[in-house]
Structure 1
Amino acid sequence: MIAALSQIIRRFQGDQGGAALVEVALVAPFMLLLSAGVFEFSNILNTRLLLLAGVEDAARYMARCNDSNWNNCITVGTNLAVNGAVTGGSARVLGWTTAQITVTTTSTPAIDPATGTELYLSNTSNVNVVEVSTSYPYSNLGLWGYLGFGALTLTVSHQERVFGW
């Protein structure tokens, strides 16, 4: 039995005919998994960048808004963030709504009292700052979901000094 097995092994010892096929059969599944992971990660990164662009646009608009009614500035700014236009527009990210956007305003010291560092160039002791932030649940993880990764929430924010009030 061992002699017969030894003879079969010796017969294939110098044969290279199927080596490439075996190598491809071993490596191909890993390469496909790696490619699918890269594609999904790029979709996640693209979504995050779209969210960030929207939040930055909204914060810049609200920082320079001259409307006497601040609620109008918030309404227009959140629509600008989500749809890329002051009125109408099309959604930057599928499923992202104006209700997921948070707008906060704060009066911030122009000079850091702890270090004396000038944070904002101002002739007043305080400046108004608007912060626009959002959290977006990224639910379609594709292949990553099958690998056991849970739900992903993308969170972005942006601050601007207010000039328009």
Structure 2
Amino acid sequence: MLIELRQLIRRFHGDEKGTALIETAIAAPFVLLLSAGVFEFSNILNTRLLLEAGVEDAARYMARCNDSTNCISYGTNLAVNGSITGGSARVPNWTTAQVTITTSHTPAVDLATGTELYLSSTANVDVVKVSTSIPYSGIGLWSYLGFGTINITASHQERVLGW
């Protein structure tokens, strides 16, 4: 039995036929996993950038809006759909209910450090902040690997100029 095994090994010892196939079979799963990871990360980044663009647009609109009855509904729709009325969703499954708009009366100067936050002739300024957080539902590699749900958040604030 041992002699037969030695003869079989000697027969294949100098033969290099099929080595490329074996190397490809070993490397292919790793290359595919790496490619899928790049696509998943790109999709997460694209979703984050679309959310950021939406909240920036809404914050800029809210900072200059003077129609107080419709500002919030227009601002949230602008964030999600790219238009104050109608439009199509920037991100799948992102709704206006997931957008939060808050206003605050903020000091123009940070009292702890003395840093000037906003150029103002008054001690306080009005600031509007638009934020959102949505669960990521993308290609599926992230959840397939068992990492759980990712919540993608974005926020932006602007000094109020119009109210």
Encode CA deviations 1:113-142: one digit per residue, 9 max, x unaligned. Answer: 111111110000001110000111113451
The offset of 1:4, in angstroms, is 2.0
Unpaired runs of 5+ residues, structure 2, are none
The offset of 1:85, in angstroms, is 0.8
Measure the CA separation in 2 of the matches of 1:42 and 1:102: 26
User: 2:64 matched to which residue of 1?
Assistant: 64
User: 2:98 matched to which residue of 1?
Assistant: 100
Measure the CA separation in 2 of the matches of 1:110 and 1:2: 87
User: 2:49 matched to which residue of 1?
Assistant: 49
Unpaired runs of 5+ residues, structure 1, are none
User: 1:24 matched to which residue of 2?
Assistant: 24
Measure the CA separation in 1 of the matches of 2:51 and 2:123: 33
User: 1:36 matched to which residue of 2?
Assistant: 36
- Give the conservation status (yes or no) of the 8 Å contact 2:40–2:138: no
Q: Structure 2: which amino acid aligns with 1:135? A: S
Q: Aligned pair count?
A: 163
The offset of 1:93, in angstroms, is 0.8
SS at match of 1:17: coil
Equivalent position to 1:76, from 74, 97, 100: 74
Q: Structure 2: which amino acid aligns with 1:90? A: S
The two structures have a TM-score, normalised by structure 2, of 0.95
SS at match of 2:70: helix
Measure the CA separation in 2 of the matches of 1:104 and 1:156: 14
The offset of 1:57, in angstroms, is 0.2
- Give the conservation status (yes or no) of the 8 Å contact 2:76–2:96: yes
The offset of 1:3, in angstroms, is 2.2
SS at match of 1:121: coil
RMSD after superposition? 1.2
- Give the conservation status (yes or no) of the 8 Å contact 2:129–2:158: yes
Measure the CA separation in 2 of the matches of 1:141 and 1:32: 14
Measure the CA separation in 1 of the matches of 2:70 and 2:62: 10
Equivalent position to 1:88, from 52, 67, 86: 86
Measure the CA separation in 2 of the matches of 1:33 and 1:13: 32
Measure the CA separation in 1 of the matches of 2:146 and 2:112: 46
Encode CA deviations 1:129-158: one digit per residue, 9 max, x unaligned. Answer: 100001111134512222112111111110
User: 1:4 matched to which residue of 2?
Assistant: 4
Q: Structure 2: which amino acid aligns with 1:38? A: V
User: 2:127 matched to which residue of 1?
Assistant: 129
- Structure 1 runs of 4+ aligned residues shifted over 6 Å read none
SS at match of 1:149: coil
Measure the CA separation in 1 of the matches of 2:63 and 2:9: 78
Q: Structure 2: which amino acid aligns with 1:78? A: T
